Amino acid sequence: MPSYNPNSNVNDRARWLPSSNGTYSASSALASLRTLHSFVPWFKLVWFAQNIPRMSFILWVAIRGMLSTRDCIHKYDLLVVTTCVLCNTHPESHAHLFFQCLFSRAIWTQIMNICGSPWNGLCWNAFIDWASTHWRGNSPTIVANKLCLGVAVYHIWRERNCRVFEGTQKTSLVVARSIIDTIRCWLSSFNLKNHPIIALNWNVNSSSFAVLLLSCLGHLFRAVLSLCLALALLPGYAPCILYILSLFL
């Protein structure tokens, strides 16, 4: 047996056994308390460096199917009415509320148009699986798409709660505008200098050459149009048509 001879020249010292160096740390304490599980496939879809925490939290609860939707409450016989308050036609569930509801679809259609992704018609669970597979990495395009998912789910859930608890309601157009404004503000904090397409799609100010060039072209076009209008050089409806076109530049 190995012998143990205490060294009377060294003071006794307490050691924190869960840590390899014997020093206490919060991370080592947490690691000793929790049970480690494998990551779920949608982990990076919810938690990423550029996320908006309170919106990621709602998305996390929604993906786990643990929001208090009316179908969940109905299981405990606490609620008789199960109709979705956004469309008033179908029973409210996670899958319906966030993806199948006509109200939500109108919102997703507008957002997907900006993202450049067509509405693919998947159901809620299939879409989460699809996005978990395809939205990988940290490129601005992927980050913008993941932000869209979290912000949209948050705002749809918030609108649902406003209708249930406060008796107020907004149109899908107004909710979509709030979502787009939130994402635009968030993206404006990123460096999109090398991603002018995203800056243009989300109308985020960028100092990139392409954005500046398009902006200058718009100003030049409107200046020439104003001059033509002033000199009455354009006949008929041409000035109106050109002015409407200039608004898109």
List residues near Zn ion by CB under 5 A: 84, 86-87, 101
**In the complex, what is the shortest distance from the CB of residue 108 to Zn ion, in angstroms, rounded to a whole number?**
13
SS3 9: coil
Alpha carbon distance 192, 183 (integer Å) = 14
Contact assessment for residue 32 and residue 20, using Cβ atoms and an 8 Å cutoff? no
Residue 82 or 188 with smaller CB distance to Zn ion: 82
Handedness of CA 22, 26, 28, 29 (dihedral sign): positive
Please report how close the Cβ of residue 105 comes to Zn ion at its closest, in angstroms. 9
Give 101 or 147: the residue with its C-beta nearer to Zn ion: 101
CA distance 163 to 17: 53
Q: How far apart are the first and last CA of the chain?
A: 85
Nearest distance, CB of residue 180 and Zn ion, angstroms: 21
CA angle 208, 209, 211 (to 5 degrees): 70
Phi, psi of 91 (to 5 degrees): -65, 145
CB of 111 to Zn ion, least distance (A): 17
Nearer to Zn ion, 87 or 112 (CB): 87
Residue with tokens 């998947």: 122
- The letter for the amino acid at 166 is E
Name the token pair of 194: 């090398």
> Which C-beta is closer to Zn ion: that of 52 or that of 87?
87
- The CA-atom distances, in angstroms, between 224 and each of 5, 176, 228, 232 are 95, 35, 6, 12
Question: Nearest approach, Cβ of 63 to Zn ion (angstroms)?
Answer: 19
Of residues 83 and 138, the one with the C-beta less far from Zn ion:
83
Task: Decide whether 91 or 239 has the Cβ nearer to Zn ion.
Answer: 91
Comparing CB distances to Zn ion, the nearer of 84 and 199 is 84
Distance CA 91, CA 69 (A): 10
Minimum CB–partner distance for residue 100 and Zn ion (Å): 7
Distance in Å, CB of 125 to Zn ion, minimum: 17
Category of 121 on φ-ψ map: left (φ > 0), alpha (ψ -120 to 50) or beta: left
